[in-house]
Structure 1
Amino acid sequence: MTPALKISNLCAQEDTATLLQDVSFSAACGEFIGIVGPNGAGKSTLLQSIARIRSNIAGDIEVFGAAIDSLSSIKRARALAYLPQLRKVHWAITAEAVVALGRFAFGKPDRLSPQDLEAVENAMVECNAYAFRNRPVHMLSGGEQTRVHLARLFASHAPIMLADEPTAALDPKHALDILSALRRKADNGALVIAALHDLDYATRYCTRIIVLDDGLVVADASPNEALSNEVIHQSFGVHAQRVGERGMTALRLTTLG
């Protein structure tokens, strides 16, 4: 079966700095892949490269068997949606209008069809953002803005969804709600790839984890296998202990000192 996404020997540089080194993996619809690693490991660079935000890259990226650069911008937008890490809005546009941008690949956001309107409303409800749909997005809190932009991602109905730190600025309840929503997207057939900082969240919600360190893939497996004590020790410089009961396991991290 053709994978939804295939990355082959992906490399990225910024001036003289190497950001990604021969990253290769394939991913199928139905997976929720967490990209984890220490600061500067290449998590955001990887997502930006897949989304074609970065141009200074080498290697091959295929989407459903087609080279990504062979796709028109519309076909690419319908296949793949991207939530960036920095998503501040500084102009007076409503939250609902921001979410409607997720329907850009299907027509003009200012001329939404009934199907578009339904997609926007459902996405805002799913992300707990519907209550402030008519408020200017720049007047919302950081956490509320995060939920609005995630709703934009969901409104796209893209089969591949990339999210860079989707729980940034969220309180614990909304972080868990959003991760649950991302997992539901995967369970319903989407390929979800998210850069995450919280290893416990990644272990609990992802079906697969890729660990990056210094631009290299150092682990790619199920959560418990990828985030072994040895990998956590070597890549993150901390001790890991798994605690839990009744089938629920959490990671407890402590410093090496």
Structure 2
Amino acid sequence: MTAVLEARDVSVTLGAANARKAVLSNASLALRRGEITAIIGPNGAGKSTLLACLAGLRAPDSGAITLGEVSLTRVSARERGQRIGFLPQVAEVNWDIDVATLVSLGRLPHQGRWGQSAADLTAMADALEATDTAQFASRVVGTLSGGERARALLARVLAGQPEFLLADEPLANLDPRHQFDSLALMRRVTTSGAGVVLVLHDLAHAIRVADRVVMMDSGRIVADGEPATVLTPERIAAVYGVASHAVTLADGSPGLVLSGPC
């Protein structure tokens, strides 16, 4: 598949003038539709900053983000909203709206002057069903648990039917069952032709679900490839400072066990 969403030598520096810190340094990454890419790395590695740049929410200090070989700065906000869905690590909902209304916001970039179409309503219903949130569609978002809210926010992004779904730690507030359900849902999203990019902290999830793993450390991409080639004991020890070994799970899929600090 050809690359569609790409970061080219992207660098970002943050902080006051007398205390500037490079949080991204010459990061290059070509993302393809139809696959799951997991971005991993320790705290402060630059994962969230890279994802924000790819979503068009932060402009890099140098380098470029392109969508279909067009600079993201030249793509209108409406088209960007149609093609790229972003699920932030911390998403605040500051209005007393119900879940159905929240999910409907995901369709705004697609709507014309006459409001919601039949296609909009179908996409919203499909997103509610896929995330197991239809059961509380009429509830106010503020009354939901953390896990329920996380699923409702994912439904909002899915309703937009983006070409690329970028999610920053989407499993953080979910119980184990809904973590696995969400990962299975991400796989179904790729079968429709979309690309999924997940920032993950759980390396076992990364090796299990991802087609490709991008490992970051100190603002740099230090490895990029198939999970088994990136998530080696040597590299995990060097980047995370923990010992690990690969295992094969009961269903035959690959797994990873962390056994403690090196």
User: 1:151: which partner in 2?
Assistant: 155
User: Match for 2:4: what amino acid?
Assistant: A
Q: Give aligned-pair identity as a percent.
A: 36
Q: CA deviation at 1:111?
A: 2.9
State the distance in 1 between where 2:226 and 2:60 align. Answer: 31
User: 2:33: which partner in 1?
Assistant: 29
Q: Does residue 8 in structure 1 map to residue 26 in structure 2?
A: no
For structure 2, list consecutive stretches of 5 or more residues without a partner in the other structure.
none
State the distance in 1 between where 2:131 and 2:113 align. Answer: 20
Q: Does residue 122 in structure 1 map to residue 126 in structure 2?
A: yes
Q: CA deviation at 1:109?
A: 11
State the distance in 2 between where 1:182 and 1:43 align. Answer: 19
Shift of the 231–217 alpha-carbon distance from structure 1 to 2, 3 Å rule, reads same
User: Match for 2:257: what amino acid?
Assistant: R
Q: Is the 2:245–2:257 contact (alpha carbons within 8 Å) kept by the matching residues of 1?
A: yes
Aligned pairs for 1:55-134 (under 5 A) are 55-107=59-111, 111-134=115-138
Q: Does residue 181 in structure 1 map to residue 176 in structure 2?
A: no
Partner SS for 1:52: coil
State the distance in 2 between where 1:218 and 1:133 align. Answer: 42
Q: Is the 1:4–1:160 contact (alpha carbons within 8 Å) kept by the matching residues of 2?
A: no
State the distance in 2 between where 1:234 and 1:183 align. Answer: 30
User: 2:197: which partner in 1?
Assistant: 193
User: 2:253: which partner in 1?
Assistant: 248
State the distance in 2 between where 1:110 and 1:202 align. Answer: 42
Q: CA deviation at 1:193?
A: 0.6
State the distance in 2 between where 1:9 and 1:31 align. Answer: 22
- The TM-score, its normalising length taken from structure 1, stands at 0.96
For structure 1, list consecutive stretches of 5 or more residues without a partner in the other structure.
none
Q: Is the 1:80–1:159 contact (alpha carbons within 8 Å) kept by the matching residues of 2?
A: yes
Shift of the 245–87 alpha-carbon distance from structure 1 to 2, 3 Å rule, reads closer
Q: Is the 2:6–2:54 contact (alpha carbons within 8 Å) kept by the matching residues of 1?
A: no
Kindly provide the CA deviation profile for residues 192-216 of structure 1, in whole angstroms up to 9, marking residues without a partner as x.
1110111001111110000000010
State the distance in 2 between where 1:56 and 1:25 align. Answer: 14
User: Match for 1:251: what amino acid?
Assistant: L
Q: CA deviation at 1:55?
A: 3.1
- Mean alpha-carbon deviation: is it higher for 222-231 or for 49-58? 49-58
Shift of the 108–97 alpha-carbon distance from structure 1 to 2, 3 Å rule, reads farther
Kindly provide the CA deviation profile for residues 199-238 of structure 1, in whole angstroms up to 9, marking residues without a partner as x.
0011111100000000100110001111111111011110
Q: CA deviation at 1:249?
A: 2.6
Q: CA deviation at 1:122?
A: 0.3
- The TM-score, its normalising length taken from structure 2, stands at 0.94
Shift of the 179–60 alpha-carbon distance from structure 1 to 2, 3 Å rule, reads same
Q: Is the 1:49–1:57 contact (alpha carbons within 8 Å) kept by the matching residues of 2?
A: no
